[in-house]
Amino acid sequence: MNLADIEGTTPFAVCRLLSDLARLVPAGQSIVEIGVYKGRTLAHLADGARKGHGALVYGVDVFDLPVPPPGRHRVSDIHAREALRSTGLEDRVTIVKASSADAAAAFDGPPVGLLFLDGGHTREAVLADLRSWMRRFARIATVIFDDYDKPGVREAVFDAGLDVEVTEDGRIAITVIDTERNRIMTDNILVLRGRRKSELRKAFRAVQRDQGPGTIVAFTGAGVLPFVDATIRGLLETNSITEPMYDGQGRALVRILGEGEDSRTAEPVDLSGDDVDALVDPDFEPPEPEQPAVTGDRNPPPQAGPGSGVGAWRDYAAAVTGESSEVWAEKSRTQIIEELSARNVPVE
């Protein structure tokens, strides 16, 4: 079988473009395709990689959908495997039979230098693909969107704030993403409000627990309500968030940091070119905070003035957590307050 014999939905002119772009991907990076179908585009990507620098190629498709979309027959992975085998490309390609999101979560290949999106074509599906795979990107990654002439794909590219080059026929859009610039690539900014510092901090910790690193959070009232700024300062001190970026409407945007990241060096959220209002998730409700692991019924010492010394806080921490006072002996008052707060122990 030749490449030109492989069945598929993508015209061969596009396949040649894919092959040319795959040629440029450095060795030590991956090329990932979402939406393999019968393997036509995947084989062209693999052929390009072979002629270029030998980047590894991964093709992701759910295949064998339990309920095939109307008008589409089931397509098993056998067709794509056979196409790769008979064109001599099978050793260069890993076929991953999984949803795009699951494959991205489990992906353990080299950083992705080229992502070809031809799976789901709704706005939500394309944004979800971007969100899932951007975590796997090499520092510079090229993303190719098929079917840019369909509204869902165009909306997703627009919403993600990406500048794209579009082929003459309008079908293919290409963008190069510099991941260190860390643009907002989400339609999911979570807005946090609270009436007090402890409330706000609890809401943040619950989001951190449930949504994890990388989530973008907007604190309302920043620069206006002192307890909001104090909360942000506390979270910076504990390396929980990036430096805030202010949107000029009283919101401070931060990204939740992962383990080992440092607030002082992590790239802040980049607001340039993004419409923050359009990205805010209107349905988001802060999750329920965890139940405090508290024993005893003591009141917290004051945070300033008489009785606010570190000794009082160490005693309080030991009493309410039931842990030995040695656990708390090395910690400063700020650290104790922060830690208790993270466990939802009252601190004011």
Q: Which residues bind ligand SAM (CB under 6 A)?
A: 8-10, 34-35, 37, 40-41, 60-62, 65, 75, 99-100, 118-120
User: Shortest approach of ligand SAM to residue 116 CB, angstroms?
Assistant: 7
User: Shortest approach of ligand SAM to residue 171 CB, angstroms?
Assistant: 12
Closer Cβ to ligand SAM, 72 or 181, answer by number: 72
User: Shortest approach of ligand SAM to residue 210 CB, angstroms?
Assistant: 23
User: Shortest approach of ligand SAM to residue 73 CB, angstroms?
Assistant: 11
CB-CB neighbours of 171 under 10 Å = 19
